[in-house]
Structure 1
Amino acid sequence: MAEHNRLTTVLNHIGGKEVPAASGAVLRLIDPATGLPHGTAPRSGPEDVGAACRAAQEAFDGWSATTPAQRQSALLRIADAVEREAAAVTTAEVADTGKPRALFLADELPAIVDVLRYFAGAARNLPGAAAAEYAPGRTSVLRREPVGVCAQITPWNYPLMMAVWKIAPALAAGNTVVLKPSDTTPSSAVLLARLAAEHLPPGVLNVVCGDRDTGRLLVAHPGVRLVAVTGSVRAGQEIAAAAAHDLKRLHLELGGNSPVLIHEDADLDEAVEQLSYLSFYNAGQDCTAAGRILVHRRIHDTFLEAFASRAARRVPGAPDDASADFGPLAHGTQLATVRGLLERLPAHAEVVTGGTALPGPGYFHRATVVAGVRQEDEIVRTEVFGPVVTVQPFTDEADALRMANAVPQGLAASVWTRDHDRVMRASRALHTGIVWVNTHGTTVSEMPHGGVRHSGYGSDLSLTGLLDYTQVKHVML
């Protein structure tokens, strides 16, 4: 009982009120930096999901009738509240994820606030075709209208950022939202809903905590008209199948397995410096992480030696460790997944640096570089989602593009070269939704973030992302 009294209690946010699960069922929240419980959250069931969807449906008519200026004002005030409550927001996020506190405050929180402010402005700038007469005596007008109740399911790697990427465009377009955060990282999303409740009508933004069964109930609810998910390929496939029954709109941002193409004319010092940081940021738990590096064979050995040396100096650490480059893996299951991939390496693969977990407590793993792998190897074809990078040689430009595209995912890639023509050829030939040149991983609110093939469809961020939360109506006068 004493241990339970020390735990933080997270509640659902439904219709403007914070409530437990109707059944009283809870999930334990584990601090990844210690492996110990730090709180509880509701394990929501049919009654909770139903209540959240009803609240969103009841709020839709009023919220969808607000002007873009009113929605802009609400989002700006929410952004200000998140910025003002930075300490509490950081504490909630760090408790669930174990991220270095200083990195979250310096990198993620400003980006989260920027997304809210961007979509506040975008709410008043919906693009549209000009009215025109396409038939004699008749004028055609296009309206862009909100879709309705949006079910949004977000992952554990960037809990608050991914929630804001979904919530901000949906609200800007006039929709109402029922968000289900990951079962292991709900704290910051519920805090966001609490802060937003001061600036939104009840029911516009609802958060229901729970597990996979909670997510399935939400996707299946007849009141939901659009389902937006950031998660695994498997989760996306299951949700797409379930949503098809009721012809719900889908927005799927799924796995990545990003190739990095380093040509022999690249600035090696710059590539090593950037990639040795970006590959291990957030412990590699990033769908665009630079985890699969392809290097021209003439410079492969030089790059590998320098990159491994720099990677060995990237160290994991606890949230308040100012020297930490990244934190723990998000939970024990993910640590076991990473360990399994490394333990099953084929004989021809070589762990150049790292390769081991740190002794407990917590789910920490050393920055790891693996060489000698082949295209058909499991660790190449699988998104590792951990602090592990593979390095492979290629013979020429065609070989590099073939290797880059020879995986099912297609979210992002980067090309490192001084040759402009090569850049243009690669930007066309790479089967990805994003291509960076001589950099990797940077996102901006104004540009879309989404993939192709098994990385899903639909875009977060940008006006493209906003339009995904609207539907078109043709009016002829």
Structure 2
Amino acid sequence: MAIVPAKGSPLDFTTFHNTINGELTSTSTTRHTINPANFKANPEVPVATHEDVDRAVKSARDAFKKWSKTTFAERRAALSAYADAIDANADAFAKTLTMEQGKPLNQASTEVGMASMCIRTMTEIEIKENVIEENDDRKIIQRFLPIGVAGAIVPWNFPVLLAIGKIVSAVYTGNTIIVKPSPFTPYCGLKLAELATQFFPQGVIQCLSGDDSLGPMLTEHPNIDKITFTGSITTGKRVMASCAKTLKSVTLELGGNDPAIVCDDVDIDAIIPQIGILSYLCSSQVCMMIKRLYVHEKIYDEFLEKLVAFTKTLKVGDGNEPDVFFGPIQNKMQFEKAKELFTSITTDNLKVVLGGSIEDS
């Protein structure tokens, strides 16, 4: 099955559709999200049904029959062209990402750039056969074969990069994939699948937008072979339990609680910006952000003073404004969790070094 990548055409980022079997589709019921910076309504998106899921799964299974027989070189060529097209639409992707997720535009641009880089980097991996045993009696060869149809459940904090990480992992290894973006951030995911129709056979990369009912439709579907999920531990447990009903292969990337240990021989001035950024990037809505700091007592006071001073320089505001570092909390659910953290100041008798107030709109 020869793949001849197209050059690609610019996307229209004003309307948003599901991608099923290479076609843009909508549904009788639609919904929209809220721009977290200004509370304005974002465009309407489809709410996928069981019938939509069944059609997408059938298309993915049909496409798998041929796509799984392509070579790594053919897949690499298609993915490389896809990466080029993401770069060509990078500004529009970044603006849409800021609209739906809230992160500052420069951080959104970085995420989009990392997505295309992810494609190019991962497709450099050579997946070779391994000879496990060879003697006069037998030769045992280990081969890595495509699994089938994958379902990708993507979170709202990095909806472009994490969608692409799942897409390229599946497609490069000969699988087909159905992407389910978060209901909080469906827009870029829908456009990634729409863009993919220019470079891949119909059914190889699809995307369904929906509400909270869509996830279980995918995890319980008997003709989806693999689920990859990134999100919270609580939801991850539900995903694993749901996948167990059909003995699906499942990959869970769940929440972290990451510490940073600062020794007394560090260059404080050099590491303060690094620690500050890695504590607060994306308004700290990232599993890999620093959650706890352990600072050597010899440098504690100086370190604390300089970290507070650096944090005061980080601008808060709408992500489209110049030099903003802190955008809004992405959604009401996350906002309530942040408010709970503030209550621990009183209940745990904590000492506050940089005060502030909660604006509840």
Q: Which amino acid aligns with 2:333?
A: T
Deviations 1:38-59 (A, max 9, x none): 1121221211111111111111
Distance apart, 1:132 and its partner CA: 4.2
Preserved CA contact (<8 Å) 1:100 1:326: yes
How high is the TM-score relative to the length of structure 2? Answer: 0.92
- Equivalent residues in 2 for 1:328-343, closer than 5 Å: 328-343=328-343
- Equivalent residues in 2 for 1:270-419, closer than 5 Å: 270-345=270-345, 346-358=347-359
Distance 2:334 2:54 in 1: 31
Distance apart, 1:224 and its partner CA: 0.8
Q: Report the secondary structure of 1:351's partner residue.
A: coil
Distance 2:280 2:145 in 1: 41
Q: Report the secondary structure of 1:330's partner residue.
A: coil
Q: What's 2:235 paired with?
A: 235
Q: Which amino acid aligns with 1:296?
A: H
Q: Which amino acid aligns with 1:64?
A: S
Using the TM superposition, name which of 221-230 and 125-134 deviates more.
125-134
Distance apart, 1:85 and its partner CA: 1.1
Q: What's 2:22 paired with?
A: 16
Q: Report the secondary structure of 2:201's partner residue.
A: coil
Distance 1:43 1:36 in 2: 20
Deviations 1:208-248 (A, max 9, x none): 11122100111000011111000000111001111112111
Preserved CA contact (<8 Å) 1:8 1:38: no
- Equivalent residues in 2 for 1:96-107, closer than 5 Å: 96-105=100-109, 107=110
**Higher strand proportion (structure 1 or 2):** 1
Preserved CA contact (<8 Å) 1:277 1:314: no
Q: What's 2:7 paired with?
A: none
Indicate whether 1:116 and 2:119 are aligned. Answer: yes
Q: What's 1:83 paired with?
A: 87
Q: What's 2:29 paired with?
A: 25
Q: Which amino acid aligns with 2:57?
A: C
Q: Report the secondary structure of 2:131's partner residue.
A: coil
Preserved CA contact (<8 Å) 2:68 2:174: yes
Q: Report the secondary structure of 2:184's partner residue.
A: coil
Deviations 1:17-58 (A, max 9, x none): 11113xx22222110110121112122121111111111111
Distance apart, 1:358 and its partner CA: 4.6
Q: Which amino acid aligns with 2:223?
A: G
Q: What's 2:140 paired with?
A: 140
Q: What's 1:206 paired with?
A: 206
Distance apart, 1:313 and its partner CA: 1.7
Distance apart, 1:271 and its partner CA: 2.2
Identical aligned residues as a percent: 32
Deviations 1:318-340 (A, max 9, x none): 12211211311111221221012
Deviations 1:341-377 (A, max 9, x none): 21233242022114423575xxxxxxxxxxxxxxxxx
Aligned residues: 348
After superposition, the CA RMSD in angstroms is: 1.7
Q: Which amino acid aligns with 2:53?
A: V
Distance 1:156 1:147 in 2: 27
Distance 2:65 2:112 in 1: 32
Preserved CA contact (<8 Å) 2:147 2:226: yes
Q: Report the secondary structure of 1:350's partner residue.
A: coil
How high is the TM-score relative to the length of structure 1? Answer: 0.70
Q: Which amino acid aligns with 2:123?
A: A
Q: Which amino acid aligns with 1:133?
A: E
Q: Report the secondary structure of 1:33's partner residue.
A: coil
Preserved CA contact (<8 Å) 1:342 1:355: no
Deviations 1:52-91 (A, max 9, x none): 1111111101100111111000000000000011122122
Preserved CA contact (<8 Å) 1:282 1:327: yes
Q: Which amino acid aligns with 2:58?
A: R
For residue 46 of structure 2, the aligned residue among 42, 49, 62 is 42
Distance 2:144 2:121 in 1: 19
Distance apart, 1:101 and its partner CA: 1.4
Preserved CA contact (<8 Å) 2:151 2:228: yes
Preserved CA contact (<8 Å) 2:150 2:175: yes
Q: Report the secondary structure of 1:18's partner residue.
A: strand
Q: What's 1:149 paired with?
A: 149
Preserved CA contact (<8 Å) 2:130 2:143: no
Distance apart, 1:149 and its partner CA: 0.4
Preserved CA contact (<8 Å) 1:312 1:354: no
Q: What's 1:161 paired with?
A: 161
Q: Report the secondary structure of 1:179's partner residue.
A: strand
Q: Report the secondary structure of 1:287's partner residue.
A: coil
Q: Report the secondary structure of 1:146's partner residue.
A: coil
Deviations 1:244-299 (A, max 9, x none): 12111111100011101112222222221211122111111111001211112232
Q: What's 2:252 paired with?
A: 252
Q: Report the secondary structure of 1:356's partner residue.
A: coil
Preserved CA contact (<8 Å) 2:64 2:176: yes
Q: What's 1:64 paired with?
A: 68
Gaps of 5+ in 1: 1-6, 361-477
Distance 1:220 1:205 in 2: 20
Distance 2:323 2:138 in 1: 68
